[in-house]
Chain A
Amino acid sequence: GAVVSQHPSWVICKSGTSVKIECRSLDFQATTMFWYRQFPKQSLMLMATSNEGSKATYEQGVEKDKFLINHASLTLSTLTVTSAHPEDSSFYICSARVGQRGTYEQYFGPGTRLTVT
């Protein structure tokens, strides 16, 4: 399967600071990537869909000014959590879509665990 990497794998930051998470497709080009958040013992929650060269599409209830997404190239999407607060502490996972229409697949990165103190 396709390989998606994320960096960093974990990060601790102070309340009020910003954190950037990188998501890379290593062996394929991804025109579409997705960002999810998962709290302990809860389901995956889609935050936004990131399309290369265009603005991200955010799910209802996700603050686009707080969670900045940039998909500047076919292999890199970034998520910046701005002015982070303890309630933003979570497991952030990106994924990338690969394949052709009708037989797409979606592969996940290993995730980034964010702790805001």
Chain B
Amino acid sequence: QKEVEQNSGPLSVPEGAIASLNCTYSDRVSQSFFWYRQYSGKSPELIMSIYSNGDKEDGRFTAQLNKASQYVSLLIRDSQPSDSATYLCAVTNTGFQKLVFGTGTRLLVSP
């Protein structure tokens, strides 16, 4: 079983729609959770971090964490073509020895 699992996609949504990206993790002691966006040929960019159960909103982005279900998601409202990228889910423990990444979900937003 992979430590962090994501659907590879592509996830295709029309412009203006809500994109929903999901991630599950296997290590119950995971404490910190992150979403990164990576455009082709570029390095990852941190867009959301979440540490406790519930929702965290930042602009058009909402991260949701459910530690009991070992599930974290990212919602992108009013999706734009510029949101088209690969979204990486990453988790770590309290000591932050290192991040464990999922393989990423490719999002395509069509005009």
Contacts and interface: CB of A to CB of B under 8 A. Distances in A.
A110 interface: yes
Contacts of B46: 1, 105-108
Contacts, number: 50
Contacts of A32: 96
Contacts of A105: 34, 46, 49
Interface string A91-113: 10100010001111111111100
9 contacts: A34-B98, A43-B104, A46-B98, A93-B44, A102-B32, A104-B32, A106-B90, A108-B36, A108-B46
Contacts of B34: 105-106
What is the interface of chain B mostly: helix, strand, loop, or mixed?
A: loop
A9 to B, nearest CB: 11
Contact of B101 (A1, A43, A101): A43
A93 B49 contact: no
B95 interface: yes
Interface in A57-116: 91, 93, 97, 101-111
A98 B15 CA distance: 34
A109 B49 contact: no
Given A101-B95, A105-B49, 7 more contacts: A1-B46, A93-B43, A101-B94, A102-B31, A102-B51, A102-B94, A106-B99
